[in-house]
Amino acid sequence: MWQVFCQDPAQTHALGVALGSSAPGETVVALTGDLGAGKTCFAQGVGEGLGVVEAIVSPTFVLVAEYEGHQPLLHADAYRLRPGEVEGIGLEETLEGWPGLALVEWAELVGEALPLEHLAVTIEIIDDARRFHITSTGPRSAAALAKWRAAHGG
Ligand SMILES: Nc1ncnc2c1ncn2[C@@H]1O[C@H](COP(=O)(O)OP(=O)(O)O)[C@@H](O)[C@H]1O
Ligand SMILES: [Mg+2]
């Protein structure tokens, strides 16, 4: 478990940049946190770290957005998914074969579509600050976590 305290949106963004610039291919990130926690702010940092030029917006209405960067970025948001729709959009297959970095917001709603091996990132709101709780679920995500941590400066 890695915990990171982010005092303001700039620090949240910087944590995302470190992930985007360090993540090995085939990294899936399950992002959890209430509305306004900073998931999109973090995702925009990830996009910057990956060299994505296009603006990253909240994917709430599109469910799944794809961006081109040094590696392809998939940004999914399960907030509005209804039960059964996960299968309908083929999310499990998409995540399974995604070559770059995949961010899944509201990952707790996609159930078994989430690969067993992933980075679990939970954002806790503490007034204007945020505490990130980051865990890996297997050896590949543990390696991704170590690289992310090194890129962030420890
Ligand atoms: N430390 C912080 N990290 C990230 N966002 C913060 C922080 N402090 C305040 N905020 C504010 O919280 C909001 C986060 O919004 P957003 O990234 O869209 O959240 P989400 O996608 O989780 O709903 C923004 O208005 C941002 O300015
Ligand atoms: Mg959002």
Give the pLDDT confidence of 67-91 residue by residue, as tens digits.
999 999 999 988 887 777 777 788 8
Structure tokens at 129: 């600050």
pLDDT band at 93; cut points 50, 70, 90:
very high
Q: Of 21, 38, 43, give the one whose Cα is nearest residue 102.
A: 43
Convert the pLDDT of each residue in 32-66 to its tens digit.
Answer: 999 999 999 999 999 999 999 999 987 666 688 99
Convert the pLDDT of each residue in 98-141 to its tens digit.
Answer: 999 999 998 888 888 899 999 999 999 999 999 999 999 999 99
Atom of ligand 1 nearest to the CA of 129: 1
Q: Are 60 and 32 in contact (CB under 8 A)?
A: no
Among all bound ligands, the one having the nearest atom to the CA of 60 is 2
* CA 46 to each of CA 84, 86, 88: distance values in angstroms, whole numbers, following the listed order: 29, 24, 27
- Which CATH number is 50's domain given? 3.40.50.300
Which residue type occupies 8?
D
Distance from the alpha carbon of residue 134 to the mean position of ligand 2, in angstroms? 18
Instruction: Give percent above pLDDT 70 in the chain.
Output: 96
Best residue among 15, 41, 108 to mutate for probing ligand 1's pocket (most ligand atoms within 8 Å of CB) is: 41
The confidence score (pLDDT) of residue 103 equals 96
Q: Does ligand 1 come within 6 angstroms of the Cβ of 9?
A: yes
Q: Which phi and psi angles does 58 have, rounded to 5°?
A: -65, 125
Domain that holds residue 53: 2-152
The confidence score (pLDDT) of residue 110 equals 86
How many domains is the chain built from?
1
Q: Of 57, 39, 111, 40, give the one whose Cα is nearest residue 82.
A: 111
Q: Does ligand 1 come within 6 angstroms of the Cβ of 75?
A: no
